[in-house]
Amino acid sequence: MVVLPLRHHCYITALLSSTTLLLLLYFQNSVLVFTYGSYGFVSERSPCACHTCVADRGNSNWFSERYDPNVPLLLNSTNSVLNANVSRWWNELQSDAGNYAEVVDQVFSLFPDKEHYSDTGSDRCRTCAVVGNSGNLLGSNYGPLIDFHDFVIRINKGPSKGYEKDVGSKTTHRIVYPESAIDLDNSTHLVLLPFKILDIQWLISAFTTKNITQTYVQVPSTIKADKDKVMILHPEFIRYVYDNWAERHGRYPSTGFLTLIFALHICDEVNVFGFGATSGGKWHHYFDKTLSYENSVHGGTFENETIHRLLQENKILIHKGWT
């Protein structure tokens, strides 16, 4: 039997107690993070309750330089006034700009006027699946994994019916513009991506007069959706993505890229499905053979490089599929 001096015994007891405390804190979703400094271990409040947090800017200088937690994500009456630079850039995307102020007044007499997703904090762990439309989803069997997330964000017309095994059946948000709009069930948020003022006018018309049937192509005059779940991406957010994340490649960001950056701002953990080519290098949708890769307008090559950099920086996880 070995008898330890009292001083050594106290040291071991303290060490075991500290280890136990660290383990307990780790398994309580890592709300507290301990770092070692010149004064010993110091606790820091984690930005979320997940094991890793997207909004933690301290672990990536590259991410911190681009991510702005204060950018307005969604339009409401308190943030609807556009600064001159954003207004000028956004108007340049449009062939016939309407009266933005008048349109905004109509919007908030019809749809919810409130601030969304301001509940970020150390007690929240919101997991999100961003589901693209790539053919690499076919045969993936990702459906149950996708549906397990708190938010499932889909893009444009990508259907779930008939593809549940691979893409899941749950949809909490669908990002659309008039030319890509489809009917939604009452559990899904319609998130309008306004590339032009006419897009917002179409949204109003689709729920009221139903008299807008044409933009640069024919669009549905009406849409089935819960008007209390309608949201509109802020033009300043679109410009922010173009400047900070796309670094002004292309004329404006793609819908998929905008959706992914949107998810970085409203989620704590982001998993990406259905982005990129199939294993054979083909770019088509899982629901048809339409080519989905466009480089001339959106700067697709640079967007893909940025998405993979987010993976390298441990900000997202990409599920590549099996096709």
Structure confidence at residue 303 (pLDDT): 95
CATH number, domain with residue 282: 3.90.1480.20
Q: What was the pLDDT predicted at 106?
A: 95
287 and 146: one domain? yes
Residues with active-site annotation:
252, 298
Q: Do 25 and 111 reside in the same domain of the chain?
A: no
Tens digits of residue pLDDT in 236-249: 999 999 999 999 99
pLDDT, tens digit, 9 for 90 and up, residues 89-118: 999 998 777 899 999 999 999 999 999 998
- My answer on whether 31 and 142 are in the same domain is no
pLDDT higher than 70, residue 278: yes
Q: Are residues 237 and 303 in the same domain?
A: yes
* Helix, strand or coil, per DSSP, at residue 132: coil
- pLDDT, tens digit (0-9, with 9 covering 90-100), for 20-52: 333 333 333 444 444 333 333 333 567 899 999
Q: What is the mean pLDDT of residues 251-278?
A: 95
Task: Please tell me whether 256 is known to bind a ligand.
Answer: yes
pLDDT for 70 beyond 60? yes
Q: Is 53 helix (H, G, I), strand (E, B) or coil?
A: coil
- Same structural domain, 250 and 284: yes
52 within domain boundaries: no
- Half-sphere exposure of residue 244, counting CA atoms within 13 Å on the CB side? 18
Flag whether pLDDT at 314 surpasses 70.
Answer: yes
Q: Is residue 50 part of a domain?
A: no
The total of structural domains in the chain comes to: 2
Give the DSSP per-residue string, 259-299. Answer: HHHHHHHH-SEEEEES-S--TTS--BBTTS--B----TTT-
Q: Is 29 annotated as a binding residue?
A: no
- 34 shares a domain with 62: no
Q: Give the span between the Cα atoms of 230 and 159, in whole angstroms.
A: 19
Q: Is 321 annotated as a binding residue?
A: no
Is 252 marked as a binding-site residue?
A: yes
Regarding whether 68 and 24 lie in a shared domain, the answer is: no
Please check the confidence at residue 315 and state whether its pLDDT lies above 90.
Answer: yes
276 in a known ligand binding site = yes
95 lies in the same domain as 188: yes
1 within a domain of the structure (yes/no): no
Q: List 315's β-bridge partners, or say none.
A: none
CA-to-CA separations, 153 to 25, 88, 104, 169, in angstroms, rounded: 31, 30, 25, 11
pTM: 0.85
Any idea which residue has 């040291």 for tokens? 11
In a domain, 228, yes or no: yes
Phi and psi for 214 in degrees, rounded to 5?
-145, 130
**Residue 180: predicted pLDDT:** 97
C-beta of residue 191 within 8 angstroms of C-beta of residue 173:
yes
Annotated binding-site residue? 133? yes
The answer to the question of residue 305 being in a domain is: yes
How many angstroms separate the Cα of 159 from the Cα of each of 148, 172, 274?
A: 18, 13, 12
Spatial contact of 164 and 154, defined as CB atoms under 8 Å apart:
no
Query: In the prediction, which pLDDT does 20 show?
Result: 36
In tens, the pLDDT along 184-225 reads 999 999 999 999 999 999 999 999 999 999 999 999 999 999
Q: Which domain holds residue 12?
A: 6-45
What does the pLDDT read at residue 15? Answer: 38
Q: Does residue 269 sit in the same domain as residue 137?
A: yes
Q: Quick check: is 300 in a domain?
A: yes
In 3D space, the residue among 229, 222, 230, 265 whose CA is nearest the CA of residue 245 turns out to be: 265
pLDDT exceeds 70 at position 67: yes
> Which tens digits make up the pLDDT trace of 115-139?
999 888 899 999 999 999 999 999 9
Ranges 36-45, 51-60, 146-155: which has the least confidence? 36-45
**Tally of CA atoms within 13 A in the half-sphere of 41 that contains its CB:** 9
- 147 and 233 part of one domain: yes
Judgement on whether residues 260 and 286 belong to the same structural domain of the protein = yes
Query: What local confidence, expressed as pLDDT, does residue 297 receive?
Result: 63
Per-residue pLDDT, 290: 67
Tell me whether residue 62 is in a domain: yes
Q: Does the residue 254 lie in any domain? A: yes
Q: For residue 285, say whether it is annotated as part of any ligand binding site.
A: yes
Instruction: Establish whether 8 is an annotated binding residue.
Output: no
Residue 298 marked ligand-binding: yes
Mean pLDDT across the stretch 136-158?
Answer: 97
Residues 61 and 41 in one domain: no
